[in-house]
Amino acid sequence: MASSLFGSSLTKELDLRPDQFTYLLDLAATLKRDRKSGTEKPMLTRKTIALLFEKTSTRTRAAFETAANHQGAAVTVFDPQSSQIGHKESIADTAIVLSRMYDAIMYRGTAQETVEELAKYATVPVYNALTDSWHPTQMLADCLTMQEHSLKPLNEIKFTYVGDARNNMGNSLLITAAMMGMSFSIGAPKSLWPDQELITKAQALAKANGGEILLTESATEAVADSEFVHTDIWVSMGEPESAWKERIDLLKPYRVNAKLMLSAAPTAKFMHCLPALHDLATTTGKKAAKILGVNDGIEVSSEVFDSTANIAFDQAENRLHTIKALLVATLVAP
């Protein structure tokens, strides 16, 4: 199976077949076990990886750099300020140049077209480390984490996403669930649902793979009997504060608090790709809490975030193991 991914790019979840997605999860679990038991063997010695960041990151950058380091590879981090990418040199030329020196290219930025252009012109694997449309490496970590915290196989798990669903996390969870035959609900105001075209595609995929997709404006209906309740941040520093109030008012009924968790399965776990506004420890959190009228978290209450139901830090750690699996599967010749 490794041979089927050798040399491949990952620009979005649908680049992978379900069996390839499963292969990456199994490989990640093995690499995680090896790391923890001190038996990990470097398989990427002398490989080099270019990491292109148009947007900020903590987890993804840490995961790519650490995974490369554990496996014996070296990385170079590029950002718009310290490179010619995008402003003085086209994406196509960048892809060609970097392919002459590196074994792989990772891209984090806004436009999905950019990562697809990189993949079109690169002669080495290109990885999407988040665009406005998709977050495929996060999906590998999310599924590994759900698998670790459930006794059921992935295709028997029911999980939910509540909040702003017309973003990369909403899109990616929807398509991943459909691809893997899972039971998945979105609880969000209709204006913040993924594009109808994507919903239709996901529903057809789910039907073909034995999964179920529900979209509802009721947060309670969405989380009913779910084993995992996911959410994501509602506002970001880049947006005008005038937009925050409207968004926060719209999403208030979808806040993950102890009452909402009561509608989920009794052993339900809380998941968040992070960063999260779960207290007043950040400037953004303080400003958003004032608008929401709480002394607490925004998309998730402190009570839930600080509880044993929260597995977001396991999820964050799994970025490392799953990204490592992606590097090994695509860069080690069979």
Binding positions for ligand CP, rule: CB under 6 A: 57-60, 130, 138, 273-274
Please report, for residues 20, 158, 228, 255, 265, the alpha-carbon distance to residue 220 in angstroms, rounded to integers and kept in the order given.
Answer: 34, 14, 13, 11, 12
Looking at 59, 61, 70, 135, which residue is catalytic?
135
Active site residue 142: no
In the bound complex, what is the minimum distance in angstroms from residue 224's beta carbon to ligand CP? 27
Pairing of strands 212-216, 183-187: parallel
CB of 131 or CB of 183, closer to ligand CP: 131
User: Is 132 assigned a catalytic role?
Assistant: no
Closest to ligand CP by CB, 9 vs 168, is: 168
- The yes-or-no answer on residue 319 being catalytic is yes
Give, in order, the Cα–Cα distances in Å from 315 to each of 73, 88, 159, 193.
24, 37, 15, 24
Phi/psi of residue 299, nearest 5 degrees: -70, -20
**Closer CB to ligand CP, 134 or 193, in the complex:** 134
Burial 223-232 (b: 16+ CB within 10 A, else e): bbebbbbbbb
Q: Which residues contact 266 (CB under 8 A, 6 or more apart)?
A: none
Decide if 321 is catalytic.
no
CB-CB neighbours of 171 under 10 Å: 23
Q: Spot the catalytic one: 138, 164, 247, 255.
A: 138
Per annotation, catalytic residue among 59, 61, 70, 108 = 108
Q: Which is nearer to ligand CP, 273 or 277 (CB)?
A: 273
CB of 125 to ligand CP, least distance (A): 19
Q: CB burial class (10 A; 0-12, 13-18, 19+) of residue 255?
A: buried
- Give the contacts of 229 (CB within 8 A, at least 6 positions apart): 159, 160, 162, 223, 256, 260, 261, 264, 268, 269, 270, 271
Q: Which of 142, 164, 273, 315 is an active site residue?
A: 273
Closest separation in Å from C-beta 41 to ligand CP: 27
Nearer to ligand CP, 203 or 282 (CB): 282
CB of 273 to ligand CP, least distance (A): 4
Residue 232 Cβ, how far from ligand CP at the closest point, in Å?
9
For the record, the structure tokens of 151 come out as 């006794």
From CA 162, how far away is CA 65, in angstroms rounded? 31
- 273 assigned to active site: yes
Q: Look up 138 and say whether it is catalytic.
A: yes
Cα–Cα separations (whole angstroms), residue 308 to 10, 93, 161, 304, 311: 33, 49, 19, 8, 8
Q: H or E element: which one contains 121?
A: helix 112-121
| CB closer to ligand CP out of 80 and 189 | 80
Least distance CB 9 / ligand CP (angstroms): 19
Q: Catalytic positions, please?
A: 108, 135, 138, 232, 273, 319
